[in-house]
Amino acid sequence: MSIIDAALSANATIADGFDPARGQPPAPKIAIVTCADPRLSNIERMLGLAEGDVDMIRNFGTVIDDDAVRSLVLSTRLLGTREIMIINHTDCGMLRFTDGEMEDRLRKATGQTPLAPARFYSFTDVEENTREQMQKARSHPWIAPEVPVRGFVYDVKTGRLSEVFADGEQPAERMVVTHFIVSDDVERSRRFYTEVLGGTVVFGPEPTNIALANSFIIINVGGGPTDDKPTVTLETPRDPDRVSSFVNIRVADIHAVYAEWIARGAQFLTPPKQHEYEIRCYIRDPDGYIIEVGQTTNPQGDWWPAGWPPIEPGRVRTLAP
Ligand SMILES: [Zn+2]
């Protein structure tokens, strides 16, 4: 007898004791994305959550792909879940192969090269992968920013969860500072921030969200007032020589960066100039925004001017050349 046939006949008996109350419309409170691995089944029990409180979204590898996003959007917007947990786990099967190996194997076995799936989402570092999935869910414009997205690794040997924090994110302060720029040509701007400055697109194209070093640059077209800023119009600089705010990129070796970025087409205003505590120069991005690029030259690392209040050791990041 096939497993399905056995399950069907078991169901006929088990359903005799079914509680009709379980057929009520659901009112889940939390969405959980986790792996299809059987060791993650009934994870809600390990979390002390009632079955009915959880929208469980499962796939191989705990991936925030198009389909997981679709479920998260509907779960939070239609069913009213208020928090999102992404639960990866140790010993995941997706750590055991690369996408390329799997594709080769399947191509050899079947002689076919289909269009889908475009990716298997294998990974090598479970925490890093969790961070990537958190970022994809957090940056999606249809998942409301007030819905917390937190990531975890479930240890299959102990049943314990450990939380994964985004790079630079402090456990106590769940906040990330990003920089928003208005662009007349988002695609041109995307090329500059990825191909010249070396950022990575984590979401796009509307808005385009680029991970750059420890922060994010969000690029979008301008536009008229919205109900939350009724007198404000977003536009690119009218006069690129009058500036009131700019991105400041600190680098470990400004001469290397200068040569590299010039070769990739960056428009510097001047070559790097030595100032008291730093060597610096400025770039103009394709929309005319100024970007400072600086290297701190104090041998102790990032300088702290005399007379400023002392800060805790370890809070100033030193860029090792
Ligand atoms: Zn897994």
- Report CA Rg, the chain: 25
Note the pLDDT tens digit of each residue in 287-301: 999 999 998 876 555
61/157 Cα distance (integer angstroms): 18
Calculate how far, in angstroms, residue 138's C-alpha sits from the geometric centre of ligand 1. Answer: 21
Question: What's the 147 CA to ligand 1 centre distance in angstroms?
Answer: 25
User: What's the gap in Å between 122 CA and the centre of ligand 1?
Assistant: 10
Domains of the chain: 26-164 (3.40.1050.10), 178-296 (3.10.180.10)
Q: What is the DSSP string of 104-165?
A: HHHHHHHS---S--S-----S-HHHHHHHHHHHHHT-TTS-TTS-EEEEEE-TTT--EEEE-
* Ligand 1: centre distance to CA 59 (Å): 8
pLDDT value, residue 304: 54
Q: Distance, CA 134 to ligand 1 centroid (Å)? A: 16
pLDDT of residue 302: 55
Residue of 206, 187, 207, 203 whose CA lies nearest to 195: 187
Evaluate whether 194 touches 200 at the Cβ level (below 8 Å). Answer: yes
| Residues 137, 245: Cα–Cα separation, whole Å | 29
Give the Å distance between the CA of 95 and the centre of ligand 1.
Answer: 8
Cα 63 to middle of ligand 1, angstroms: 10
State in Å: Cα 81 to ligand 1 middle: 24
Distance CA 222, CA 234 (A): 5
Residue 39 CA to ligand 1 center (angstroms) comes to 9
**Mean pLDDT (whole number) for 32-50:** 94
Question: pLDDT above 70 covers what percent of the chain?
Answer: 90
Distance 93 CA to ligand 1 centre (A): 5
Give the range among 36-45, 112-121, 167-176 with minimum mean pLDDT: 167-176
Q: How far is the CA of 51 from the centre of ligand 1 (A)?
A: 21
| pLDDT tens-digit readout, 107-147 | 999 999 888 888 899 999 999 999 999 999 999 999 988 89
What SS3 class is residue 259? helix
Q: Are 281 and 236 in contact, with CB atoms under 8 Å apart?
A: no
How far is the centre of ligand 1, averaged over its atoms, from the C-alpha of 86 (Å)? Answer: 12
**Cα(34) to centroid of ligand 1, in Å?**
8
Determine the pLDDT at residue 1: 81
- Of 55, 46, 59, the closest CA to residue 155 belongs to 46
269 and 281 Cβ atoms separated by less than 8 Å: yes
DSSP H or E stretch at residue 84:
strand 83-89
CA 71 to ligand 1 centroid distance, Å: 19
Stated as kind and residue range, the H or E segment containing 58 is: strand 54-59
Quote the pTM value. 0.55
Q: What's the gap in Å between 130 CA and the centre of ligand 1? A: 12
Cα–Cα nearest to 161, from 49, 18, 244:
49
Mean pLDDT, to the nearest integer, of 31-36? 97
- CB of 200 within 8 A of CB of 230? no
